[in-house]
Amino acid sequence: MDHLPIFCQLRNRDCLLVGGGDVAERKARLLLDAGARLTVNALTFAPQFDVWAQEGMLTQVQGEFDESLLDTCWLTIAATDNDDVNQRVSDACEARRIFCNVVDAPKEASFIMPDNNVVLTAVYERPKASPSNAAVVDEVRGGSRKETALDPNEIPRLEAELTTEADRELLDVNHADVTYKVVYRKNAVKASESNAIKASGYYETEHEAAYKGAWGLDVLIERYVNGRKVAGAAEPEAAFRTYIQMGKDDVDMLDYQLYEITENPGTGETEAALVTLEYDPEETGGLYAFTAQAGSRYVMIYNRAYRVYFVNQVALPVEYRYRYYFKVRRDEAPSDEYYADEYGQVEEQLDYFVNPDGAEFSYEGWSRSQDSFKEFDPSEPVRRKTYIYAFYKDNVREVDDARQKLEEAIREAIRISDDHFLKLEESGILKEAVEEALEVLDRENPKATAGQLTAALDRLKDKTDPYEKILDDRYNHYDDIQDNGNKGGNKGGGGSGSGTRQNPYNTKLPESYVVGTNGNWVEVSAPEGQERQMAFVLTGGMRLSGMWAWIKYPADGSTSISDRTGWYHFNDKGIMETGWIRDEGGNWYYCRTEKEGNFGKMQTGWHHDAADGNWYYLIPSSGVMATGWRKIGEKWYYFETAGAGVYVYDFAKERWNYGGGTGKPLGSMYKNEMTPDGWLVGDDGAWIQ
């Protein structure tokens, strides 16, 4: 035989199931029923796995097959629809000496399982008979060995019971081979047998419309001597335990009953007597056992039935998914009184819930379609396996629209709150309103609903709208008092006059601010241990921030003072920046670090950096650091184009600092070396012609 029939004790033992589909689900039910500590490894999972995981019955591991999961395993089942993956699982188990079942590939498995999720204990090879006994074997004619078989434990008794004195003489004296075959002959049910069953009084007449005779079974014992059947041998009287595994077409039926069929010797009429089944086929996947009498005929009947599945939308969170089924007899309806308990569970659906994304789902009813609502009528008769889906109306689009509007309103409120023409207490009030709106926007588990987002939007606009009017008035007033009466445009504009604030969404450079007219330099307190900090405060009390600004000093005849006129950069906190500065486009600038005179002014032309010892050239027309070849005067110079990331940003001090390293910084001048394109430059960096 190819496999040894055994029963495994798996309670509280680690088992691995690779695969998450329908086949894997059936295998999982068996392992869970056996008490195994089950881990399921799959790319995707059928809804039932999510329900089991939620209930703590198993552990899900999503992703490709992970061999490390085998480290603690006693037993593994490979149940994916990918033969290569199944083979990898089998090979990994073989290397670790772990029993592995490969679905649909028994030759690749170290153990097998029956298709119907039951253990067929009747699969066996008979033990050798004692020398004085005839051998007993079983044989199935017209069916499958996996469907019907003699209990192997019955063989020793039958060998002793069936062996006659004549057999012993043949065995002991003539050394003949005497064999008794228990024959199971499977065939169709006769009309007379069906009528006899209906007249027996045991048959459930309430469901007669769904009645079906599954098959008839003749149980015989044949005698063979030296392999030849002995004709005319008397039928021995013997009773023995027989296992039957229903075929897959019969497994999901209802009301299984087995009858012994006899003929009344007085009347010649066919009669039927109910036979006791050791197991309930509905609970064992179609497996049962009974005591068969040699020479008797048996008929199996059942009610034709189909599974009706009730499933939630698979897109729902695990806690709201729902998968339930029960069997309904053919031509009967789920709402019939016979299924009151089962169908009652179907009605336990939630009328309303909010998913993690804030979308609201309202239960509409059971639908025959998962994609559109086609109402299910539970009073309609069932004639095939049926899937019914819980259908919900949702407001996903409404939630997305409300979230987008609130995000836009928050951005606008932040822009207004950062405006330099707002007083600090005014800006503070608006920022508090922004924080309240952000709390709603960033809410998790679940996210805010459409109603909550809309309410937050209304509250924010109630705070924002008045300040927009205030800013319009202040900007108009500010423009009126500009130098020479030249207005710079409305709030956030980029007009030709002076004094307008740079709009963060406008790439146009701002106009100049005049020291003493539009505002003044103010030294602000720096954190302990940090360098001096300067800010430019407008006459309205607001700092310049997040911008380049041309700061113009009055022409008082002092060269040292007027030389300070130039470009200055202010960070988002309104602090003038010094040293290296990089804008969003990746351009580098350098602002003077001397504490007097030109402190903070953007440098142009040549610059020798004391930190790294390199020369740089800052284009006079823009202040941007030069890279590549550049003609300066009458000479050509080459400046690094790739850069080695030597300068790093210090988030605590909010500035770029020299970070060391051995590479050549971006923009540094080449000297006494060959350029990347093969030209030699001298000690002064100039190209040697």
pLDDT number for residue 55? 86
pLDDT number for residue 423? 74
Categorize the per-residue pLDDT at 18 as very low, low, confident or very high, splitting at 50, 70 and 90. Answer: very high
User: Is residue 262 scored above 60 in pLDDT?
Assistant: yes
pLDDT number for residue 348? 66
pLDDT number for residue 314? 59
Sign of the torsion formed by the C-alpha atoms of 121, 122, 123 and 126: positive
> What is the rounded CA–CA span in Å between residue 306 and residue 253?
7
Q: Length of the chain in residues, anyone?
A: 689
- φ, ψ of residue 441 to 5 degrees: the values are -65, -40
For residue 41, give Cα distances in angstroms to 37, 73, 113: 13, 13, 20
pLDDT number for residue 165? 87
Closest CA to 669 of 631, 627, 635: 627
241 vs 34: which has the higher pLDDT:
241
> What is the rounded CA–CA span in Å between residue 504 and residue 678?
43
pLDDT number for residue 560? 55
Encode pLDDT of 504-541 as tens digits.
Answer: 323 344 467 888 877 888 888 776 666 778 899 887 67
Encode pLDDT of 419-444 as tens digits.
Answer: 767 777 888 899 999 999 999 999 99
Average pLDDT over residues 355-380: 88
112 vs 477: which has the higher pLDDT:
112
Q: Which residues contact residue 278 at a Cβ distance below 8 angstroms, ignoring those fewer than 6 apart?
A: 288, 289, 290
Helix spans in 73-124 (H): 83-96
Measure CA 251 to chain center.
34
Which range has highest mean pLDDT (117-131, 173-187, 617-631)?
A: 617-631
* Kind and range of the H or E run holding 22: helix 22-33
pLDDT number for residue 283? 83
> What is the rounded CA–CA span in Å between residue 496 and residue 500?
9
pLDDT number for residue 502? 36
User: Is residue 170 scored above 90 in pLDDT?
Assistant: no
Encode pLDDT of 443-471 as tens digits.
Answer: 998 899 999 999 999 999 999 999 888 88
The 323-329 sheet, strands edge to edge: 323-329, 305-311, 386-394, 360-367, 352-354
Average pLDDT over residues 286-313: 90
pLDDT number for residue 130? 57
